Amino acid sequence: MSKMPLITLIMESLLSYLKSQVVPKKRFDNVVKKNGVGLTFACMAMSSAVDGPADETNLTGTGKKQEEMVLADMHLKPGEPWEYCPREALRRVSKVLKDEFNLAMNAGFENEFYLLKILERWRGKEEWISIDVKPYCSSSGFDAISTLFQEIVAALNTLNVALCAEAGKGQYEMALGHSACTNAADNLIYTRETVRTIANKHGLLATFVPKILESFYFSSQVYDLDDIGSGSHVHLSLWQNGQNVFTESDASSHHGMSKFGEEFMAGVLDHLPSILAFIAPLPNRYDRIQPNTWSGAYQRWGKENREAPIRTACPPGVPNGFVSNFEIKSFDGYANPATLDGKLSKLPRSLSESLEALQKDKVLKEVIGEKLFVAVTGVRKAEIEYYSRNKDAYKQLIHRY
C-alpha cells in the first residue's frame, strides 16, 4: 500500500524545540490553508521539561518521503496574528527597522551539533557516545559519515550550506548562507529538523545541546568533558536598497564599519546581558559562557576576536580593513531564532542573572511587547526552578534539542 502524503505543521515555542501537528496533504490543501488548526494557548507557556503552562506567564490555556514540513503562524483567527507568535514578533520588529530607517537586517547561522550513537540500551536506560574522535576540520571526520551529509545537503540544497568537522568529539558545523532575518530564522528551523530527521534515519542522534555533561550522559570511560560545546552563532548585517550598509564605504572609519553599523552593534552590545535570556534560555547553557571557550564571557567586542561574544568579521572577498557583518557567539541551540563602548564587565553567569537584566530592560520590553515579555520571563523562571530542583534532568535535553 502506498504511503499517504503528510504535511507536518511546525509551531515555534519560546525555546527552540517545536510543537507540531500532522495532517494529510488533502486536508492541508482543502481545510488547513484556509482555517488553520487548533492549538492551546498554553503552548507558549510550556518550559523545556513540562507540557503545561508555567506560572507567571498569563497563559493558562483555552526530510522523509511523502512528508513535507510547513512553518505555521499563530493567529487568534485567520488574518488576526496572535501577540505571542515568535514569527510575528520578528516581522513586527523588522517592519519598524524598515519604516523608520529604511533598513533591513540579514542573518546567517552557523549550526554546531553532536552526532551520537547508542552504546547500550538495558532495562530502559540508554547510553550514547560520540561517533568519532577526529580533530577540527579533518577530512576523515567528513569521510566517516559522508552518506549522511550527502542526504542532508541534498535536502537543504537551496540554503547555500557549508559543512565541516568541528573540534568536539563527534561534533560538526553546518553554516547557512545569509538572507533576510525572517527567512534566516525559518531556514534555521528547517535545518535543525532536517539534520535530526536524517540522522535518526541512520540510527544516530543529532543534538544541538550547547554543553554535553559527561556525568549526565556518558560513562567516564567513553567521553571526555573537555569539549568546548556547541553554539549557533548568528552573523548580522544591515542592508539598504540591496546594498550592505553595515560596512564602511571608504577608509574613513577606524573599525571598518559605517555609522549605521557602529550604532547598531553598540546597541546589541549594550543590551547583551538581557538578550542572553532569549539566546541562551536554559540554565546549563551558562556552563559554556566561560573564558577560553570561544563563546564570550565578557561584555566586549573585537575584530576577528573569537573570544569576544561579539566579533566583527572580514570574510574572504571583503577588502582589507573593512568588515561586512558582526557575529553574536552566545546564541545557542536552545534559542528560538525568531528571538562599541569597550567596557570589560562580565556577562551574566547564569540564567537567573540574564533574567534579572531582562526584567530591567525597558527597551526590549517595549520592542517585543508586554504579553510576549511576560510569557518569556515566566517560562525562564520555570526553567530556573525546575533544573535547580532536578539536577539530573539535563540528560533528557539531548532528545529535545
Q: pLDDT by residue (tens digit) across 89-110?
A: 899 999 999 999 999 999 999 9
- Residue 342, pLDDT above cutoff 60: no
Q: With contact defined as beta carbons under 8 Å apart, do 311 and 304 qualify?
A: yes
C-alpha cell at position 382: 520555570
Instruction: Please report where in the chains the cell 557567539 appears, as a residue.
Output: 329
CA-based Rg of the chain, rounded to a whole angstrom?
Answer: 21
> Could you tell me the domains of the chain?
242-396 (3.30.590.10)
pLDDT-based confidence at residue 120 (cuts at 50, 70, 90): low
pLDDT grade, residue 40 (50/70/90)?
low
Quickly tell me which residue has 494529510 as its cell. 24
Mean pLDDT for the stretch of residues 199-219: 73
Q: What is the pLDDT of residues 311-337, one digit of tens each?
A: 888 877 777 778 889 999 888 776 667
Distance CA 169, CA 229 (A): 10
Average pLDDT over residues 127-134: 79
246-262 confidence digits (pLDDT tens): 988 776 677 888 888 99
How many angstroms separate the Cα of 174 from the Cα of each of 200, 281, 321, 373?
A: 17, 22, 27, 31
Which residue type is seen at 107? Answer: A
| Tally of CB atoms within 10 A around 394 | 22
- Residue 352 has a pLDDT of 93
Task: Name the percent of the chain lying above pLDDT 70.
Answer: 80
- Span 120-135, mean pLDDT? 72
- The DSSP symbol for 274 reads H
What pLDDT is recorded for position 361?
Answer: 93
β-bridge partners, 312 = 303, 326
pTM of the predicted structure, to 2 decimals: 0.81
Bridge partners of residue 109, in order along the sequence: 234
pLDDT for the residue numbered 341? 38
95 vs 65, which has greater pLDDT? 95
Q: Residues 266-291, buried b or exposed e (16+ Cβ, 10 A)? A: eebbbbbbbbbbbbbbbbbbbbbbee
Residue 245's pLDDT band (cuts 50, 70, 90): very high
Lowest mean pLDDT among 43-57, 122-136, 163-177: 43-57
Q: Classify strands 234-240 and 75-77 as parallel, antiparallel or unpaired.
A: unpaired
Out of 75-79, 95-99, 212-216, 288-292, which region has the weakest mean confidence (pLDDT)? 212-216
274-290 pLDDT tens trace: 999 888 888 877 877 77
> In this predicted structure, what is the pLDDT of residue 15?
61
Q: Which residues of 359-377 are buried (b: 16+ CB within 10 A; e: fewer)?
A: bebeebbeebbeebbbbbb
Residue tagged 538495558 (cell numbers): 122
Please say whether the beta carbons of 213 and 227 come within 8 A. Answer: no
